[in-house]
Amino acid sequence: MSPLALQQQLLVQSLLSHPASTDREQAQRRLEPWLHPPAERGLMAYRAHGHALAERCLTAAYPVVTQLIGADALRAVARTLWHTDPPQAGDIGEWGHTLPDWLTGCAELRPLPYLSDLARVEWALHRAASAPDAQPDLSSLGRLAGEDGPTLRLRFAPGTALFGSPWPVADLIHHHQHGQPSLDALVARLQSPGHCHALVVREGWRCEVLELAPTEACFVAAVLAGAPLGDALERALGAAPCIDPPFDFSTWLLQAVQRGHITGVLP
């Protein structure tokens, strides 16, 4: 390895390794022959910039998580995640996807057990914002009326994702963004965990999260998994005797097409 390549490797190791780690200590010691006071100040500035960048990235991707734990806690989490799981790609917007798993193992945040599921939905919203634009083929929907209708597959717009959770994560996001449902109603739901389903969709330039009824969630999950329409409907209708309300496919399809969730059908 050339001296320049070694310096660059040690610099990255010094910047991204955890402050208390052996890797940071070793890199710092090996860099000392090349460091002089201005360089040391520059290294400190780079570290501070990295921490600030990490904080901005997580705040942008996880606004509701930030509100729930507070800016100071988010700042500490961002610094920890920056060192334990540093960026692996040039696009810093792709960094931060491991926060939900990190939150699951954080003992200090266990009094908020819904945080990790909430973070997964917020990350899906963040990713949906940069998903490719949908390429509608609405004329293909006419094939649903043909004999091969049950064998066709509905095509969701890019960025669509479904999440199941015992916690009302869609209501958590709606409350913090729009004030609805009320705080009392939200607290009541949080005190009685159940089976909740949140669908992340992109509507034009906006990304939304919708709470789905159980039968609708059953149908959407099957479609997103690539099931033919007939199979997806059987799963939803099969759940109907046990779950209210029953699934109304015609009404669902009309609304899904009008809102841009469904862009066409595939063989």
251 by Cβ neighbours in 10 Å (0-12 / 13-18 / 19+) ranks as exposed
Contact criterion met (CB below 8 Å) for 10 and 30: yes
Per the listing, tokens 């507070």 go with 70
- Which pLDDT score, from 0 to 100, does residue 201 have? 97
Identity at 258, one-letter amino acid code: Q
- Which pLDDT score, from 0 to 100, does residue 26 have? 63
Per the listing, tokens 């806690």 go with 73
- Which pLDDT score, from 0 to 100, does residue 79 have? 86
Measure the N-to-C terminal CA separation of the chain; round to a whole number of Å: 53
- Which pLDDT score, from 0 to 100, does residue 41 have? 60
- Give 5's contacts (C-beta < 8 A, 6+ positions apart): none
The DSSP symbol for 141 reads: G
Cα 234 versus chain centre, distance: 29
**Closest CA relative to residue 211, chosen from 241, 242, 251, 171:** 171
> 206: helix, coil or strand?
strand
- Which pLDDT score, from 0 to 100, does residue 94 have? 86
Structure tokens at 264: 């066409």
- Which pLDDT score, from 0 to 100, does residue 250 have? 92
pLDDT in tens, the chain (267 residues): 555 555 555 555 555 556 656 665 665 665 566 565 555 565 566 667 777 888 999 999 999 999 999 999 999 999 889 888 878 766 778 899 999 999 999 989 999 999 999 999 999 999 999 999 888 998 999 999 898 999 999 999 999 999 999 999 999 999 999 999 999 999 999 999 999 999 999 988 899 999 999 899 999 999 999 999 999 999 888 765 565 667 889 999 999 999 999 999 988
Domain boundaries defined on the chain: 131-267
Dist. CA 158–CA 129, nearest whole Å = 10
**Closest CA relative to residue 211, chosen from 194, 198, 200:** 198
Contact criterion met (CB below 8 Å) for 236 and 219: yes
What is the sign of the dihedral through the CA atoms of 100, 165, 201 and 186? negative
